[in-house]
A and B are shown apart, each in its own frame.
Chain A
Amino acid sequence: MSFPWANQYQPENEFMKWMDSRLPLPRLIYNAIGAGYPVPRNLNYFWNFGVLAGVALVIQILTGVILAMHYAANVGVAFDSVEHIMRNVNSGWLLRYAHMNGASFFFIVVYIHIFRGLFYSSYKAPREMVWLLGLVIFLLMMATAFMGYVLPWGQMSFWGAKVITGLFSAIPLVGPALQEWLLGGFSPDNATLNRFFSLHFVLPFVIFGVIILHIWALHIPGSSNPTGIEIKGQQDTIPFHPYYTAKDGFGLGIFLIFFCILTFFMPNFLGHPDNYIPANELSTPAHIVPEWYFWPFYAILRAFTFDFLFIPAKLLGVIAMFGSILLLFFLPWLDKSPVRSGHYRPIFRKFFWFGLIPCILLLGYLGGAPAEEPYVMLSQLASAYYFAHFLIILPIISMTEKPKPLPNSITEAVTGKPLESAA
């Protein structure tokens, strides 16, 4: 669907006309991310991060495919082949550092993208499917990133693989057998490394496919906007190209500056030194933590140190960790407020800024801290708030709060003048 006033694709020359009647791919692109896609005129810079996430994926696929030309997925040589890339392969150090930090940047922009969705309630009708597909992409990203981290076969790679596959052993009855099946052995070994390499290579293309579905689902209702109100007329929109291609291009420049600073000047800032020690199955690193982007979930996992009813602590932690993401799938139906944007929801906004965001940041800090007091107790409190926020606080305030008056139209919110009632 599109708005009736959307620009229509006009093939410019005979070749494009010929093409358009046989494979209308230029038309598809024109309507999806070109001048044929009308977008609200008031998008702020938070709306850049979807495009930035797409660019991050492209960087990862490009550098990753090239790294795969030099990497060897065998426990005997994997670690050395990564060092070979770093020392011998022409520009190998650049490609690997770009891929390593590219993963972190992919998560940074995706987390800001999710933050945008949470604050402006982009998940609400009619965009539930956009949100759900986004969460699927997020889960695929986590799986891909985890398996990628195993490939250098350093200490953190090995023990990360052991601990994360160990999560599945918590499942009653089938758990240990499932873990053996995932590993292809009793401990991470060659079979594990090979399958992780295969999956790490293919999953980004699956992500790419789901992103196409994500954008397709977005284009049915069109993009949301900071006021959260619907588009009411042509004046409320501008074509994606050239307006937002230009704005996204500017944002991309900023993104690349930060990306280059980290890649060139502090490439190991976000990594762990322990992963430059070859994997040793007889020695666990003293302080074992995942990459920073998993820390909030890791904190929730470790918060459960007590049995509850008949559920052992280990299973509770695993359920809570997966549950912390799975509950987001129900968010469009937990938040019952008819108003989308946090700007017009005074109580929601307070709990968002002073409850949820500090809670997630604290969980992130605690996930990287050692498993001792007071961190464990703080993890328990923060985990409790996280679940309470989505399952109790949000449903209640979304039903009881009195939203502020909404502007009559996007145009009025931006210019102060009413939308011409010509339409």
Chain B
Amino acid sequence: MAEPEMTETNEGGEVRRRDFINIAAVSFAGVGAGVVALPLVSQMSPSADVLALASVEVDVSSIEVGQAIKTTWRKQPIFIRNLTSEEIAESKAVNASDLRDPATFEERTLPGKENWLVMLGVCTHLGCIPLGAAQGEIKGEYDGYFCPCHGSHYDAAGRIRKGPAPTNLEVPEFSFISDTVVKIG
């Protein structure tokens, strides 16, 4: 840099007025660039039409005891199972505090409708669909669900018992809007 031409030198190391202007200008440009980046980043998030598919209503009257159906909510599979009394008793007998993701059977079903188990059919490991909902599928070591991708075993209440998945199969927000119609989301 051509030192002699400079009118202000900085030999003492003290902050000059020009330093302040430089830092302020660059900072302000940085803030501007950051603001411009916001829409460039946020455009990646789920768009309005994707978010609009937020709830579905399902008629469950045709599901017999011990059977389950697969349906979709937000483009993700949903398992709706009509539990047998043995499955309910078995699930209640488990000591929840021993589980990797402690949850009692009552916490995963609605009071008075506890035979209806509504879950996202999405393995909490890496998102595969566990087997066990349809008849004839492998149910895993805990007689519930088994994910073939990486070997996670879930029990009849969809709680993780063995394998790499960190949490239980997710129970979405749901309610009965009549005796036979479930509203998910």
> Which A residues form the contact surface with B (CB < 8 A)?
159, 162-163, 165-167, 169-170, 180-187, 189, 191, 195, 281-284, 286-288, 302, 304-305, 307, 312-315, 317, 371-372, 376
Contacts and interface: CB of A to CB of B under 8 A. Distances in A.
B127 interface: yes
A376 B164 CA distance: 11
B151 A186 contact: no
B77 A181 contact: no
B52 to A, nearest CB: 12
B115 to A, nearest CB: 24
Contacts of B151: 305, 371-372, 376
Nearest to A312: B166
Given A283-B129, A372-B151, 15 more contacts: A159-B149, A163-B128, A166-B127, A184-B45, A191-B47, A281-B76, A281-B77, A282-B129, A288-B149, A302-B164, A304-B164, A305-B151, A314-B126, A371-B148, A371-B149
B50 A184 contact: yes
A362 B50 CA distance: 42
8 contacts: A166-B125, A180-B45, A184-B45, A184-B46, A186-B46, A187-B74, A189-B75, A191-B46
Given A163-B127, A282-B72, A185 B164 contact: no
Given A162-B127, A189-B75, A281-B75, A314 B165 contact: yes
Nearest to A298: B150
Contact of A288 (B100, B128, B163, B166): B128
Contacts of A166: 125-127
Given A195-B44, A284-B149, A371-B150, A313 B164 contact: yes
Contacts of B46: 180, 183-186, 191
Contacts of B166: 170, 312-315
Query: Most A CB atoms within 10 A — which of B77, B148, B150?
Result: B150
Interface of B: 44-47, 50, 70, 72, 74-77, 100, 124-129, 148-151, 163-166
A41 to B, nearest CB: 46
Contacts of A307: 100
Contact of A191 (B50, B74, B149, B165): B50
B128 A159 contact: yes
Contacts of A288: 128, 148-149
Given A282-B77, A314-B165, A184 B128 contact: no
Given A185-B50, A305-B163, A314-B125, A287 B148 contact: yes
Main secondary structure of the interface of B (DSSP, over half): loop
B77 to A, nearest CB: 5
Nearest to A371: B151
A162 B126 contact: yes
A231 B151 CA distance: 54
Nearest to A180: B46
A12 to B, nearest CB: 42
List 8 tightest A-B contacts by C-beta distance, closest first. A166-B126, A166-B127, A312-B166, A371-B151, A187-B75, A163-B126, A186-B74, A284-B129
Contact of A167 (B44, B47, B50, B126): B126
A305 B165 CA distance: 8
Contacts of B124: 314
Contacts of A313: 164, 166
A191 B75 CA distance: 12
A302 B72 contact: no
A181 B45 contact: yes
Nearest to B165: A314
B75 A302 contact: no
B173 to A, nearest CB: 14
B44 A182 contact: yes
Nearest to A281: B75
A203 to B, nearest CB: 16
Contacts of A183: 46
B126 A286 contact: no
B126 A305 contact: no
Given A317-B164, A371-B151, A184 B125 contact: no
A383 to B, nearest CB: 14
Nearest to B138: A286
Contacts of B74: 185-187
A189 B50 contact: yes
A185 B150 CA distance: 24
A236 to B, nearest CB: 42
